[in-house]
Amino acid sequence: MTTRQAVPPRDRTTVAAIQRRTVRLLFLTQVVGGVGVTIGVAVGALLATDIAGTAVSGVAQSAAVVGAALLAVPVTRLMTGYGRRPGLVLAYLVGAVGGVLTVLAATTRSVPLLFLGMLLFGGGSAANLQARYAAVDLAEPARRGRQLSLVVWATTLGAVAAPNFAAVADRVTVGWGLPALSGPFAFSAAAFVLAAGVLLLFLRPDPLLTARRLADPGTVDPAARPPRGLREAWSVVRERPAARLGIAAVAVGHLVMVAVMVMTPVRLHEAHHDVDVLPVVGLVLSLHIAGMYALAPVVGWLTDRLGRRAVVLGGAGLLLAACAVAGTAGHDTFRLTAGLVLLGLGWSATMVAGSTLLSESVPVPVRPTVQGLSDLIMGLAGASAGAVSGFVMQVAGYPVLTLLAAVAVGPLVALALRPVPPVPYRADSDAPDEGE
């Protein structure tokens, strides 16, 4: 019998109301947090170039990615002991501190302070990523994909609005005496503080603690459980094929997306070296981001309708198609744009379906730590792909880079096609059969 089936009808109504409230709050804070994160992405490389030079600007930008990955570990340990609310609040506040330190780095022209600020700034990304998991703690099994995808989709609004906020913030703060390009990070810090405050005040009752009480009705104080470490999380994942597939889908999708996406502006510059390439880059990347987020609700609906494994395979197919189209586009900007849109759609499918599958495949008590492990692996995979892609681009060129990215999809396809025997329901987990 599943945990959900064991809940009395009156309690199910209460849980449904808590879930609706939780998703609304997460949607709101995801928009606010998404603005903060995307502002940093929009001007971070330019600020790093101004302070540290072009040679290390990419490394400074990658520091935020690494920071988000590393922060996932302590944040999810806090969630394991005390629920989603304190973990998300901590992550946003760390991101706010990073934004303030980045402003100070611009003011003092300090490169070490810049790297530290960007590293902590990754807290905003960590919070936005972890929010998707909070959306499925109390979701009905048949609606988990859609609930998670709504929170992912909310990022679209922040991503679209952020570039305009960045320009306005820079003009306003320059008038206050702050260095150029640093003001947007002050606005990011304010956005993170706002998101943290909303969650601190209104994310009650905590969805994870509520889910834990439903999974173990005899538990008086869920927060009294000892924190689970990464070693235990890995042992849980290793024993569950569906959890392994979920982590692999998220990590491989992110690795391929980052590897191809970060070098696409360079490819466009090669094709348009005699004109101003920035408007072209902006259009291509905007359409790519639309592919990542805009259709997330559709991907979530398909995840619930067709099954997690089927959508993971579909996402892998889209990633392969993206590599083929972009890698053979040459200097055809239209084909390259089509490849980047397919790349975004493939990322969306592997992210939504993989995250949903992972969340429902592990017991409630260890779920946050396993999710933190997944985000750590995903972040490090993306950071590694970004670092290596530049070397591959310089040595072998863009077509070879897309070929290697396509090769990386192969193990994911093999894992998704591997037959898995059905696993019966357990009292500590309401996961569906892993052989779905």
Q: What confidence tens digit (pLDDT) does each residue in 46-103 have?
A: 787 788 776 566 677 678 888 998 999 899 989 988 999 999 999 999 999 999 999 9
What DSSP assignment string belongs to 218-249? Answer: T-S-GGGSPPP-HHHHHHHHHH-HHHHHHHHH
DSSP 387-420: HHHHHHHHHT-HHHHHHHHHHHHHHHHHHHHS--
- Cβ proximity of 92 and 200 under 8 Å: no
Give this prediction's pTM: 0.83
pLDDT digits (tens, 9 = 90+) for 384-394: 887 788 788 88
Query: How many whole angstroms separate alpha carbon 270 and alpha carbon 181?
Result: 27
- Structure confidence at residue 273 (pLDDT): 63
Distance between CA atoms of 49 and 31, rounded to whole angstroms?
28
pLDDT in tens, 292-334: 988 999 999 999 999 999 999 999 999 999 999 999 998 888 9
Between 287 and 279, whose confidence is greater? Answer: 287
Instruction: Give residue 290's pLDDT.
Output: 83
In the predicted model, is pLDDT for residue 6 greater than 90?
Answer: no
Query: What pLDDT, on the 0 to 100 scale, is given for residue 387?
Result: 78
Residue 377: per-residue pLDDT: 94
Amino acid 336: pLDDT = 93
For each of the domains in the chain, give its residue range(s) and CATH number, in order of start. Answer: 1-208+223-227 (1.20.1250.20), 229-436 (1.20.1250.20)
Of 128, 98, 149, nearest to 196 (Cα)?
A: 128
pLDDT digits (tens, 9 = 90+) for 117-146: 999 999 999 999 999 999 999 999 899 999
Tell me the mean pLDDT in the region 366-375.
91
Q: What is the pLDDT of residue 288?
A: 86
Among 68-82, 209-223, 266-280, the range of highest mean pLDDT: 68-82
Could you tell me the pLDDT band of residue 5, with boundaries at 50, 70 and 90? Answer: very low
Beta carbons of 254 and 347 less than 8 angstroms apart:
yes
Q: How far apart are CA 320 and CA 342, in angstroms?
A: 9
Provide the H-helix boundaries in 294-366: 296-306, 308-327, 333-360
Across 289-311, b (16+ Cβ under 10 Å) vs e yields bbbbbbbbbbbbbbbbeebbbbb
The closest alpha carbon to 249, from 372, 358, 342, 339, belongs to 358
pLDDT higher than threshold 90 for residue 231: no
User: Residues 180, 170: contact at Cβ < 8 Å?
Assistant: yes
Cβ–Cβ under 8 Å, residues 364 and 428: yes
Instruction: Please report the DSSP string for 244-273 in residue order.
Output: HHHHHHHHHHHHHHHHHHHHHHHHHHHHTT
- Nearest-angstrom CA–CA distance, 122 and 37: 8
